[in-house]
Structure 1
Amino acid sequence: MRDRTAVDTIKGYFYQFDYSIYKIMNLDEDEGITVEGIEDVDVHTATEEAAVQCKYYSKSEYNHSVIAKPIRLMLSHYKEVKDGIKPSIKYYLYGIFKSGTDKLVLPIDNTFLKEHFLTYTQAKKVYKHHINLGLSDVDLNDFLNKLTININGKNYDEQVKEVIYLLRKNFYCSEFEAENFYYNNALKVIKDISTKSNISERFITKKEFIKSIDKSQVLFNEWFIKYKGKKQFFASIRNEYFTMLNVLPFERFFLIEIDKYNYNRSVLKELIFIISKKWTRLSKREPNPFCPYVYVHNISTNELCKIKSDLYYEKFNFVDGFVYNGASFSAEAITQEANCHNNIKMKIIDNLDYLRRVLNYTTKTKEVYQFYIKNQYFNVKNDSIKDIKIQIESLNDIKEII
């Protein structure tokens, strides 16, 4: 319920973010947008400069007063253009309302503009914004020629679908990848640049935007989590990568990062047991038995030894590539077949160097699942190996995902 409430609360922000993504995806690569510039989104093309005010009132009835202030602000900008202070642009007011949009019959004339948008009352005093600015009817007509109003915009879900479609089309990818990789990244990019203090830093071209979101990894982006909901987010990853249907006898490598400042041995052990239970097949009837590999990032040698000791005394059978005391690591030893006779339930890899050696040694189909907290710590560099990178906050997230 909390996730759903969070989404409802910030839908207006998402609507604006999505509109920004939609606009930039429809530009040429050297054209771009400024987020939170003159208006919510400023669009810069080869032929036009435009400022867009984006309104989301899907649960409210339309009234002229709702869009009056944005229009007055646009007119104030127009006055600065007329005075030669700023360059000429086009103005767009875009949005959606639950009802009442029939009250606004387009196009409007300057009489309607003055009566419903430019005249207002504040502290019981009537103001006429066009008079305060010293603008004539000729000026207002010119302003109207530069102003486009659309209060019957796409609904929230329709706009998201259009954004996902544009991302799929651009990256030639699946719907899952478009949403969880590129849309996830896009939300983060738009949110990040919107908070820059310098307006020049809030500008981005389509070419730069595409490059910045072209990352094939699942990010734990707080805005994407709010959009989708944490449980649904985890469920979508699980359905895409960790379904238990038709589990094939591949060499699966689970790379797990721990938070050194928020570490609990029992939680890590529980996760190891879960991975083994779900991704081990040792039955006599299994023609190609297998078990998973696990590497734990940021764990000390001493703590890893304690984990192994616990597993040993709990009669959880594993191998780590060391065949006797004092022996060197052996890729051959750790890649031995797990079966019902030796009952190997897990293969534990001590460090990244050993991981590279195992990946190079084994000739079976390989899949690497890297769970990282802030920064990735391993690059596969082999297109024949499935390489999935998933950002997490804690080990408990992995338990929910796999």
Structure 2
Amino acid sequence: MTDRSAVDTIRGYFYQFDYSILKVLQLLDCDDSIAVECIEDVDIHTATEVTAVQCKYYAGTEYNHSVIKPAVMFMLSHFKKIKDDGKLPVKYLLRGHYNSGQHKLILPIDVTFLKQHFLTYSEKRLERRHHEELGLSDTALAEFLSVLDIDINAASLEDQFTEVIRQLQIAYGCTPFEAEYFYYNNALALMRELTIQTLPTNRTTTKGAFLKVADTSGVLFNEWFVRKKGEKSHFSALKKAYFSGLNLSPFERFFLIEVSPETFVRSDLKEVLHLLSKKWSKTSKRDGNSSFCPYVYVHGLPDDELVTLKKELATEEFCFIDGYDFQGADFSVKSIAKRASHDNGIKLKVLNSIANLEVTVGSVTKTREVYQFHLGKSYFEPANEAVKHIQIQVKKFTDIKAII
């Protein structure tokens, strides 16, 4: 597969995922549902009808009847089967976006056009007619056309995505950024998960269940979402949304970093700590009583490694405090909350444990902001809802450098 065709294939996946998200958001009732990869790409189930949709993206392709012929024949076969089984009829929608050639198909089509352009094909140099193989009369074909809708002027990938974000804003009452980075990110992960389920019943979601699962209070790392946005663009958007101008106000800021002991490299963590101190400290003489520096808690770091890390920082004359005033002392919020200044040289406040973090966030009285970076599940929730809490899932903790 060429690079170009690979890109087209990926865009096709996103087009189908986005369409699935859009359709579930547009369902009128929370008990209405969609199913993916069952009859067709997307099956829409309401209390009164089922619509099977094949959704394709051919932005670089000219429309020709042959492109949708296999889909029409498959739908006709399904139409015949459920008719024979005495089941309720299904509506069919062929939906596609093409670069050009839409003038070749004039709608609505009749039975003669259907048979000539969509049901007649060649196999081993023999002309075959799919409707005759199925034993369908012109009357049955006319009935099929009454439940078939063809749309070859579907929205572009970009326009469809814009509508998805608008619908998410409506559903959750959120900003465009939250719609994309919180809810769309989660929705995309949900749709991808549905498509890989083995049983058809597990590839179905109601509108109510979808809205609940897609709801999130933080930015989750989704391979598909990052692939669509591009890693650089993804990090840049997070930086703009959350980490621009943080050092303008003397708030109590807590940066929570999760590391994996298996892949942890001490020098990388030290680099992140130095960066946090440099970017979000104001301790010059002119800052006076408005001086400050950040708190840091490293989740998942073994105790012995934390001790070694602090020894190295001390040896390198990087001044920090950790709330313990002498050997054997209890943790002191008063000690850890000491104002950093030019005179005392404090550059960072290191919290040793979740317990120290919880009591400090709960006890300090200034405006508090918590920025939690997690690799998997969230590991901290402030007890006070007044505390600003930003949660960002990352693939590896060193990604923090590009975000902050």
Pick the TM interval, shorter chain. over 0.9
> How far apart, CA to CA, are the structure 2 residues paired with 1:139 and 1:36?
26
2:117 maps to what in 1?
116
1:313 maps to what in 2?
315
1:275 is displaced (CA, Å) by 0.4
2:102 maps to what in 1?
101
1:152 maps to what in 2?
153
Q: 2:333 aligns with which of 328, 331, 334?
A: 331
Return the letter of the residue paired with 2:337: T
> How far apart, CA to CA, are the structure 2 residues paired with 1:261 and 1:87?
56
1:13 maps to what in 2?
13
Return the letter of the residue paired with 1:347: K
1:398 maps to what in 2?
400
1:97 is displaced (CA, Å) by 0.2
1:295 maps to what in 2?
297
> Deviation per CA, 1:337-366, whole angstroms, max 9, x where unpaired?
111111110000000001000011101111
1:195 is displaced (CA, Å) by 0.9
**Equivalences for residues 227-306 of structure 1 within 5 A:** 227-244=228-245, 247-286=248-287, 287-306=289-308
Which stretch shows the higher mean deviation, 36-45 or 122-131?
122-131
2:61·2:100 contact (CA, 8 Å) conserved in 1? yes
> How far apart, CA to CA, are the structure 1 residues paired with 2:104 and 2:270?
64
Question: What runs of 5+ residues in structure 1 fail to find an aligned partner?
Answer: none
Q: What is the DSSP-based 3-state SS (H/G/I as helix, E as strand, rest coil) of the residue aligned with 1:131?
A: helix
Matched, 1:216 2:217: yes
1:382 is displaced (CA, Å) by 2.4
Return the letter of the residue paired with 1:99: S
Q: Label 1:279 to 1:29 Cα distance change in 2 as closer, same or farther (>3 A).
A: same
1:214 is displaced (CA, Å) by 0.5
1:69 maps to what in 2?
70
**Equivalences for residues 21-170 of structure 1 within 5 A:** 21-27=21-27, 28-84=29-85, 86-170=87-171
Q: What is the DSSP-based 3-state SS (H/G/I as helix, E as strand, rest coil) of the residue aligned with 1:60?
A: strand
Which stretch shows the higher mean deviation, 366-375 or 64-73?
366-375
Q: What is the DSSP-based 3-state SS (H/G/I as helix, E as strand, rest coil) of the residue aligned with 1:336?
A: coil
Q: Label 1:18 to 1:142 Cα distance change in 2 as closer, same or farther (>3 A).
A: same
1:191 maps to what in 2?
192
Question: What runs of 5+ residues in structure 2 fail to find an aligned partner?
Answer: none
2:247·2:281 contact (CA, 8 Å) conserved in 1? no
1:226 is displaced (CA, Å) by 1.1
Which stretch shows the higher mean deviation, 237-246 or 88-97?
237-246
> How far apart, CA to CA, are the structure 1 residues paired with 2:64 and 2:159?
24
Return the letter of the residue paired with 1:178: A
> How far apart, CA to CA, are the structure 2 residues paired with 1:8 and 1:366?
46
Return the letter of the residue paired with 1:359: V
Return the letter of the residue paired with 1:360: G
Q: What is the DSSP-based 3-state SS (H/G/I as helix, E as strand, rest coil) of the residue aligned with 1:10?
A: helix
Q: What is the DSSP-based 3-state SS (H/G/I as helix, E as strand, rest coil) of the residue aligned with 2:372?
A: strand
1:246 is displaced (CA, Å) by 6.2
> How far apart, CA to CA, are the structure 2 residues paired with 1:213 and 1:374?
16
Q: What is the DSSP-based 3-state SS (H/G/I as helix, E as strand, rest coil) of the residue aligned with 1:268?
A: helix
> Deviation per CA, 1:246-274, whole angstroms, max 9, x where unpaired?
62111111111111111100000000000
Number of equivalent positions: 400
1:383 maps to what in 2?
385
Which stretch shows the higher mean deviation, 147-156 or 376-385?
376-385
Q: Label 1:25 to 1:322 Cα distance change in 2 as closer, same or farther (>3 A).
A: same
2:79·2:89 contact (CA, 8 Å) conserved in 1? yes
* Aligned-residue identity in percent: 50
1:338·1:345 contact (CA, 8 Å) conserved in 2? yes
1:72·1:129 contact (CA, 8 Å) conserved in 2? yes
Return the letter of the residue paired with 1:165: R
2:283·2:340 contact (CA, 8 Å) conserved in 1? yes
Return the letter of the residue paired with 2:178: E
> How far apart, CA to CA, are the structure 1 residues paired with 2:338 and 2:7?
49
> Deviation per CA, 1:67-94, whole angstroms, max 9, x where unpaired?
0000100000000122026431100011
1:244 is displaced (CA, Å) by 3.1
Q: Label 1:352 to 1:246 Cα distance change in 2 as closer, same or farther (>3 A).
A: closer
1:4·1:229 contact (CA, 8 Å) conserved in 2? no
1:379 is displaced (CA, Å) by 1.6
1:298 is displaced (CA, Å) by 0.9
